[in-house]
Amino acid sequence: MRKLTVKTRLLILTLAVAVVSLGIGAAGLVGVSNSIQALQQMYEGRAKALQAISTINELVTEASFSVSDAILDPSAQKTQLVASGTAGRIEQVDGLMKQYVAGSESADEGKRAEAFASIGIHCEIRAFNPLSSCSMPTTFPKHSGCRPRQSTQSPGR
């Protein structure tokens, strides 16, 4: 090594720096590629959850409007139509809730999704169906804003 000229030493040093730079660049490209894939998966997962929640919101809104329409036109045919339509919406909401809960990836997110699924929407949409046998809990957490329905039958009946 002592007999190498300055030109050769500089050439070796330049090649070593170039190899290290290529290694660092390759590692950076792999890291960026992995980050892009992770972001894409996270985006798709959140988009699916958002789509499910949006569809649930639309179903609840449709149920609310159909009940309002039935109140304005209280015929037996309209009431039966609202009851059957609401039953179909409840089935759709149940399926979307299962999809939403199943799509949650982390344990903390899964707990929040289950809490939302158990009291959030069912409280609203099942209240629109007078023929449903609602299995809602009788007590709700303070933060839910949901209260159990009171019985409309008098105790003497």
| Residues 6 or more apart whose Cβ sits within 8 Å of residue 79 | 70
The answer to whether residues 136 and 123 touch, using CB atoms and an 8 Å cutoff, is yes
Give pLDDT tens digits for 27-61: 999 999 999 999 988 888 788 888 888 888 888 88
Hey, where are the domains in the chain?
44-130
Give the pLDDT mean for 97-113: 75
Task: State residue 44 phi and psi, 5-degree precision.
Answer: -65, -40
CB 87 within 8 A of CB 132: yes
Q: Where residue 78 falls among pLDDT bands split at 50, 70, 90?
A: confident
**For residues 86 and 125, is the Cβ–Cβ distance under 8 A?**
yes
CB of 105 closer than 8 Å to CB of 45: yes
Non-local (6+) Cβ contacts of 45 within 8 A are 103, 105
Predicted local confidence at residue 27, as pLDDT: 96
Q: What does the alpha-carbon distance between residue 97 and residue 117 come to, in Å, rounded to a whole number? A: 6
- The larger pLDDT score, comparing residue 123 to residue 145, is at 123
Please choose, from the candidates 79, 88, 91, 92, the residue with its C-alpha nearest in 3D space to the C-alpha of residue 130: 79
